Amino acid sequence: VCTGIAFALHAYTNEGDNILIQNPVYNPFRTVIEEANRTLVMQDLLGNEQEGYTIDFDALESAFKDDDIKVFLFCSPQNPTGRVWHRDELAKVVALCKQYDVLLFSDEIHRDLIMPGHEHIAIGNIDPDFDNYVLFASPSKTFNLAGFNHSFMVVPRADLREKLDTFLHAIHVTGGQPAGYIASEAAYTYGSEWVENVNQVIWDNYQLLKTTVQTALPQVQFSDLQGTYLAWLDLGAYVKNADLKEVVQDRARLGVNYGTTYWPTRPEDTHIRINLATKTEIIETAANNLVKAIQEWQ
Ligand SMILES: Cc1ncc(COP(=O)(O)O)c(C=O)c1O
């Protein structure tokens, strides 16, 4: 997917163009923009674990109006907060992109990993008159097919498809790996039972982690898991940013991702991101280790 985003940035924008992202977000969003020599414009989501995370639509509109944003690189569902955007939120994003003529890149790689009670809506299903977008996705996460190096883009505008083809032709990218097409087709054709089961395991793992940790440490705040396989939690009530690695990595022996990776403008951030896509026994051990390490740290 990141390769696709890089292709699209090169095909549709020029060096120095302003590209907007919203923190906290999957960190290669920054590097893919910077490495393409485009200008990174960052703003924050609103909210936190207690209130829930939302889009700051006033800030989004100001950026579109005043900062000459060429592309909004949007994460839907959102990594790392686990938000699955509602129809009204997506409708506002689309309306603003239309109003200010901003090309929308919608990274929907987590689109199948949706928790009970939530529904992912593809960006093309919001407004039939809106076609100024590129949707990026892949069966790689849902079906554990990342080894095939295969993803897809939906490009509804004919002129944008042509521009992309011209760019790909120029760099001699003529197609994906044949095995990747076959694996993707097989996964999407026959994989619905797998998807149901995998979402159940992720949901059970999230509940287990959250219950175990919060029973012992009630002030650890968990973001509501609506989608993705990533738990996003704030340890700030118990551990300072400077001590996070010692507690989580050295004492609890957990390999996690730290909040500052996703939120570089918050150097004191105290979130960690835990991957839930594993065996329940591993999550149980992780939860117990984390609780013990934090309790001993107090
Ligand atoms: C939002 C998002 N986009 C893209 C990717 C990675 O995609 P790929 O490995 O296909 O480049 C990830 C992986 O974590 C992700 O969370």
Establish whether residue 228 lines the binding site of ligand 1, counting it when its CB lies within 6 angstroms of any ligand atom: no
Q: Are residues 210 and 290 in the same domain?
A: yes
How far, in Å, is the centroid of ligand 1 from the Cα of 258?
17
Q: How far is the CA of 233 from the centre of ligand 1 (A)?
A: 20
Identify which of 21, 25, 26 to mutate to test ligand 1's pocket (most ligand atoms within 8 A of the CB): 26
Biggest alpha carbon–alpha carbon distance for the chain: 60
Tell me how many domains the chain contains: 2
Predicted pLDDT of residue 273? 98
Amino acid residing at 185:
E
20 in contact with ligand 1, CB cutoff 6 A: no
User: b/e string for 219-241 if b means 16 or more Cβ within 10 A?
Assistant: ebbbbbbbbbbbbbbbbbebbeb
Cα of 257 vs centre of ligand 1, distance in Å, is 14
Residues 96 and 238 in one domain: no
> Are both 66 and 177 inside the same structural domain?
yes
Contact criterion met (CB below 8 Å) for 22 and 44? yes
Quick one: pLDDT at residue 161? 98
What is the CATH classification number for the domain harbouring 35? 3.40.640.10
Give the pLDDT of residue 67.
Answer: 97
Residues 134 and 229 in one domain: no
| 167 in Cβ contact with 11 (< 8 Å) | yes
- Check whether residue 23 and residue 50 sit in a common domain: yes
pLDDT at 174: 85
Distance 2 CA to ligand 1 centre (A): 6
- Statement to judge: residues 20 and 99 lie in one domain: yes
Residues 6+ apart with CB under 8 A from 259: 24, 234, 266, 269, 270, 271, 272, 273
Centre of ligand 1 to C-alpha 182, Å, is: 21
Residues 231 and 107 reside in one and the same domain: no
Q: Nearest C-alpha to atom 10 of ligand 1 is from which residue?
A: 1
CA of 295 to the centre of ligand 1 (A): 34
Based on the domain organization, do 67 and 143 belong to the same domain? yes
Which two three-digit tokens encode residue 32?
């893919």
pLDDT average per 10 residues of sequence, the chain (298 residues): 97 98 98 98 98 98 98 98 98 98 98 98 98 98 95 97 97 90 97 98 98 98 98 98 98 98 97 98 98 97
Residue where one domain finishes, among candidates 190, 209, 240: 190
Question: Residue 219 and residue 271: Cα distance in Å, rounded?
Answer: 13
Tell me, yes or no, whether 172 and 71 share the same domain.
yes
Six-digit token pair at 225? 């898991």
Ligand 1 contacts CB of residue 112 (under 6 A): no
Q: Which of 127, 161, 190 is the last residue of a domain?
A: 190
**177 and 254 share a domain?**
no
How far is residue 69's CA from residue 39's CA, in Å, rounded to a whole number?
A: 10
Residue among 9, 79, 177 to mutate when testing ligand 1 (max atoms within 8 A of CB): 79
Q: Is 260 in the pocket of ligand 1 (CB under 6 A)?
A: no
CB of residue 140 inside a 6 A radius of ligand 1? yes
Does ligand 1 come within 6 angstroms of the Cβ of 247? no
Which residue puts its alpha carbon closest to atom 9 of ligand 1?
1
Boundaries of domain holding 77: 2-190
Q: Could you tell me the distance, in angstroms and rounded to a whole number, from the CA of residue 4 to the centre of ligand 1?
A: 10
**Residue type present at position 103:** L
**Residue 165 Cα to chain centre, angstroms:** 26
Q: What is the pLDDT of residue 175?
A: 84
Centroid of ligand 1 to alpha carbon of 76 (angstroms)? 11
pLDDT of residue 177: 86
Task: Assess whether 116 and 151 both reside in one domain.
Answer: yes
Residue 266's CATH number: 3.90.1150.10
Among 190, 209, 229, residue at a domain's last position: 190
Tokens, residue 149:
């190096």
CB 19 within 8 A of CB 69: yes
143 and 67 assigned to the same domain:
yes
Q: Is the dihedral of CA 139, 28, 79, 144 positive or negative?
A: positive
